[in-house]
Amino acid sequence: GFSACPRDGTAMKFKAKAISAASCVSLQRIVQTLSRISKVKFCRLRLSPEKLCFSIQPDVAEDQVRIWSESKQDLLFNSYRIESLHENNEILFEFSVELLLRAIKSTVNSQSVSFKLMKKDGINYLSISAGIISANGLSRPIEQNVPVRLFPHEHIALTQPPPLPMPQVNIYLPDHRILRNFIDRMKAVSNKLTVAASMQGELVLKCETGAVSIKAYFRDLENPPWKEGTATPQTQGLVEATIDVRAFSQFLVGYQFSTQNILLSIAHDKAVILFILHDEVALTYCIPVLLD
């Protein structure tokens, strides 16, 4: 049988199959993005009948980047089955991002990839199996087992999107290749990056030390419509926040999605929040401000 259980002994079952190359590539893109935009080596995956939620949130340090990513299961898998005694039929486990990425990459040339939770010699694994098509057209089976730490049900409700402060401004980023160019130069000057934006389509990035100052101005960017019922935006002038330039750079270098829709929100004195809005994934990347 395909099942695994945490230390409290409650059995959990999960089995899924992707039979299109596009699905395998999508899953690889998500895990690769997580591995590149975070320094944290472990990630939690909350599975429900509808979706997969990946969470990288350090337990203690408030000054660390927090990441939450959601994907609909039917966009990634052709068949998907989950069984758990949890009231909403959910499962939560933790895994090494690097090990899962390596396992998924090994299935790149396969016609279909299967995933299941299993227990072997007292250890829980996410088992990934596929048939790799070799140069002579024959299929060769491979199996990779990624160790996972399963959590009891009471932990599931605690794995939530990070609490986000109310922003005063939302703006879509300019072309990330141009941004990366500026940020690479700024990284050489200082660890601190001040990000400022307005609801009139302006974005300003600046890095300053005693000797050198670099500023980049962007105009005529798009501000999305403001959601009713949220905090009132700051209608005049710039809202700014100072963050770790390396965290901003890691995001720009790391995300693997061909999208121009990256939204930046600034909550003054609290955080700079980046949102990837894509068919495959909705990802939140929350960078706390640096306090003097």
- Is the per-residue pLDDT at 250 higher than 70? yes
Residue 242: band (very low, low, confident or very high) from pLDDT cuts 50, 70, 90:
very high
The predicted structure's pLDDT at residue 233: 72
- Is the per-residue pLDDT at 132 higher than 90? no
Q: What percent of the chain has pLDDT over 70?
A: 93
Give the helix, strand, coil percentages of the chain, each rounded to 5: 20, 40, 40
CA dihedral 234, 236, 241, 247 (to 10 degrees): 80
- How does the average pLDDT of the chain come out, rounded? 89
- Is the per-residue pLDDT at 1 higher than 90? no
Q: What percent of the chain has pLDDT over 90?
A: 65
In this predicted model, what pLDDT tens digit does every residue of 57-102 receive, in sequence order?
Answer: 876 666 789 999 999 999 999 999 999 999 999 999 999 999 999 9
- Is the per-residue pLDDT at 228 higher than 70? no
Range with lowest mean pLDDT among 60-64, 89-93, 179-183, 273-277: 60-64
The predicted structure's pLDDT at residue 99: 97
Phi-psi region of 122 (alpha: psi -120 to 50; beta: other; left: phi over 0): left
Select the more confidently predicted residue: 196 or 162. 196
- Is the per-residue pLDDT at 163 higher than 90? no
- By the 8 A CB rule, do 238 and 277 touch? no
Mean pLDDT on 210-237 = 83
What φ, ψ does residue 166 adopt, rounded to 5°? -70, 125
In this predicted model, what pLDDT tens digit does every residue of 9-50 receive, in sequence order?
Answer: 457 899 999 988 788 888 889 999 999 999 889 999 999 999
135-144, 177-186, 220-229, 258-267: range with highest mean pLDDT:
177-186
Nearest-angstrom CA–CA distance, 17 and 78: 6
Select the more confidently predicted residue: 105 or 261. 105
- Is the per-residue pLDDT at 255 higher than 90? no
The predicted structure's pLDDT at residue 138: 83
Task: Compute the chain's Rg from CA coordinates.
Answer: 21
The predicted structure's pLDDT at residue 9: 46
Q: List strand residue ranges (DSSP E) for 102-232, in order.
A: 110-120, 123-133, 139-150, 169-172, 192-197, 203-208, 213-218
pTM for the full predicted model: 0.91
